[in-house]
Amino acid sequence: MRKPIMAGNWKMFKTEAEAVDFAKKIKPLVADVHDRIIIICPPYPVLSKMCDELCNSNIALGAENLFWEDEGAFTGEVSGPMLKAVGCTYVIIGHSERRQYFGETDETVNKRIKAALKHNLYPIVCVGEKLEERENGSTFNVVETQIKGAFKDISVEQWDNIVIAYEPVWAIGTGKTATPEQAQEVHAFIRKLLPEEVAEGTRILYGGSVKPANVKELMAQPDIDGGLVGGASLKVDSFVELVKY
Ligand code: PGA
């Protein structure tokens, strides 16, 4: 059985005071949830304070990115050891906004995954097609290329707690969710692309306008193992509803 994951991707939202307020409010509301994994991925500047609030709770902390070197002259970057030191367990890698605005490629995604694994951070690796790619019928090609590129030279022995998030770009922040059938089709396809030894145990999350109104039908799909949630993870009420879907 794959324990479901509900992960909040806060993107570039919340100051320290806002983040701490959120953490204090949500902790007691989900304290009784043990049959699923809850993750919050806030911006870097609030990670340390969020760990003070959450690291002894059933809510895990994740970062939104990491650089592949451990240290060095890389202005503006943050490394695996730094994320470990502030209490991160997970790290999002290759989000479509990183690919679209910051030049992330399958090759850099692969380097970041290797860096995360080296430092025992569990990667949440994002893939997904753009609207024109869905419309011209290349969804499966695009996703296959992204998966093969991301996991190049990563062996089954290293495949510890890798999480994949299928996020159709046209569904992110748009209010348009993929139908459960559309999502399931791609999730099943992704699972077939994974090494046989790890395919059944790997969690594949869906992301793209997940909200309380659609979470149940998405989670009812056999290959959807959780959600990577942007907008609806920013409010305590809606994130609690998602966690307790
Ligand atoms: P959204 O974002 O839930 O706001 O669509 C999801 C994501 O980008 O991870």
DSSP 201-243: T-EEEEESS--TTTHHHHHTSTT--EEEESGGGSSHHHHHHHH
Q: Which residue has the tokens 């991160």?
A: 88
CATH label, 5-243, candidates 3.40.50.2300, 3.20.20.70, 3.40.50.850, 3.10.129.10: 3.20.20.70
Rounded to the nearest angstrom, the distance between the alpha carbon of 175 and the centre of ligand 1 is 9
Shortest-distance Cα residue to atom 3 of ligand 1:
230
Cβ 129 vs Cβ 142: under 8 Å: yes
Tell me the residue length of the chain.
Answer: 245
pLDDT at 51 over 90: yes
- Cβ of 64 closer than 6 Å to ligand 1, yes or no, is no
Q: Which stretch of DSSP H or E encloses residue 124?
A: strand 122-127
What pLDDT does residue 173 have? 86
What pLDDT does residue 1 have? 82
- Cβ of 226 closer than 6 Å to ligand 1, yes or no, is no
Q: Residue 167 catalytic?
A: yes
Q: Which residue has the tokens 């992110």?
A: 172
Cβ 160 vs Cβ 197: under 8 Å: no
- Cβ of 172 closer than 6 Å to ligand 1, yes or no, is yes
Question: Residue 198 and residue 185: Cα distance in Å, rounded?
Answer: 19
For range 96-112, the mean pLDDT: 98
Cβ 32 vs Cβ 245: under 8 Å: no
Rounded to the nearest angstrom, the distance between the alpha carbon of 9 and the centre of ligand 1 is 7
What pLDDT does residue 175 have? 82
Mutate to test the pocket of ligand 1, among 9, 101, 234, 235 (most ligand atoms within 8 A of CB): 9
**Tell me: the pLDDT tens digits for 153-193?**
999 999 988 999 999 999 998 888 889 999 999 999 999 99
Q: Cα torsion for 85, 88, 90, 93, to the nearest 10°?
A: -70
What pLDDT does residue 110 have? 98
pLDDT at 241 over 90: yes
DSSP bridge pairs for 39: 7, 60
